[in-house]
Structure 1
């Protein structure tokens, strides 16, 4: 159980991941402060509405100490910032606007945290920064790991590539900073698992990320582990399930759809192609929820 004294700010707290993560962190004993453009539905939730593309609002939100009539701005108001706020898909807005929103929000959160003396940041990075869609970018080898070359195929993925480089540079310039980049795979809630059956006869629907996914509840676990990962500098971890979205064995899928790609290991069963080995080894991550367990 985490210390009840550790205070965590979660940006994008009312989005898909945040709505699962916030109650998870509270159950683990953290004090959570939600930051989002939309107001909370619970009047008792510790929260602030803020446009994180505006640096002043990001700085103000991340300096929020106390609550109710005792609320005030101050430095080091949080032990950790979990940055989820982002447009989650390409072409949701015009490319220039998507770039502005995602890049400015990420810069503002990183820089505001640094200036406020909050040295621990966990950022929702993405698999897409390593060349998704892999069937369009000549993926060099499998399994995909943290040494994979970075490539921004579209504006959304470009913001993830540049966000990771920005995190690296900030940590180089401030040795006390720690920015943990969680490269989340396609995040799924349990109610979405029924559609997995529709992919079984057409694996090409999921070529783009090597048939990979992660359960939203396992994302919450990964964030909790990353909060306690107390190593300075920038680091990155793929957060994926152990198995693909397909019932067809992974070897058969690769043989048919990626016959020429270099394989650096032998795959067994439905083994995932985007490897979570580093997250397991260093963070202690262990996926608990599989789509095949659905009732």
Structure 2
């Protein structure tokens, strides 16, 4: 559950999740998050088959890499059928709404998710995949707007105004369908903006932030460390539940180091009638993940933004 403190995280919050997985497929394996998942699972001795549009130049113990176009159902189904994994972790997607046409984003994300999840379901594999905070609609809205209540939780209505958020809404319906049809557990993660240690973009935003001139942020200044996203993947694999579950994946606090309700009210001009934010608490709630997955964020911007953590050597 979100907290208001700014102190450094304690080691007691770092849980070691135990799960029975011998072989896992990770899509988007060379991407900014997928590569971290590959490394973590391989470090635990799991045989990882990393899938992306291109194979990396290097090699990695306990991992092999295949170039697969996930929008091609034949390639996708053949690959997953051959690997016969215990788990499929699907991170492949196009997220840059300003870099690609909306039709390309929508078609790629929905088709690749459908092909991957159906193939995983047919193989009887457990599924963890990344949806997004974009399903709520505030992230890429033309005009900033407030949610019905704060903090936002998993039950808040979806109101996407863009191809990316809409692709994730459609893909969550695919996730539910796959879980029903093939009777496999499917977990949809909804991360906030993901940062990697040593690559945080928060310092310039904090230094230049001005309540009198800045506009409301579509993510309400929420974020999550990539290492905590990886930990939620592990938490989902370790959890025991049937059907489909969705979880917001977000750090406890905003990345400005300011009172969250105050900065939202100052930039939006008002707050929702129901606002239960306290202190620096994030505007998106991670309470469900704590209750069901026993997951809490461990890493925060104030102790990670200056860290030097290189990308995996096999890339």
Q: Does 1:84 align with 2:91?
A: yes
Distance 1:5 1:187, change over 3 A: closer
Deviates more, 1:102-111 or 1:92-101: 92-101
Q: Does 1:34 align with 2:42?
A: no
Distance 2:86 2:251 in 1: 29
User: Which of residues 73, 95, 98 is equivalent to 2:105?
Assistant: 98
Distance 1:33 1:206, change over 3 A: farther
Give the equivalent residue in structure 1 for 2:179: 171
TM-score w.r.t. structure 2 length?
0.83
Indicate the SS of the match to 2:218. helix
Indicate the SS of the match to 1:46. strand
User: Which of residues 37, 61, 72 is equivalent to 2:79?
Assistant: 61
Deviation of 1:177 (Å): 2.0
Structure 1 unpaired stretches of 5+ = 66-76
TM-score w.r.t. structure 1 length?
0.88
Map of 1:149-188 to 2, 5 A cutoff? 149-174=157-182, 176-188=183-195
Distance 1:206 1:20, change over 3 A: farther
Indicate the SS of the match to 1:251. helix
Distance 1:46 1:219 in 2: 22
Distance 1:260 1:3, change over 3 A: closer
Give the equivalent residue in structure 2 for 1:145: 153
Give the equivalent residue in structure 2 for 1:116: 123
Map of 1:150-229 to 2, 5 A cutoff? 150-174=158-182, 176-193=183-200, 195-200=201-206, 201-202=209-210, 204=214, 207-229=217-239
Structure 2 unpaired stretches of 5+ = 1-15, 307-315
Q: CA RMSD in A?
A: 2.0
Number of paired residues? 281
Deviation sequence 1:221-260 (CA, Å, 0-9, x none):
1111111223121110000000101122113213312453
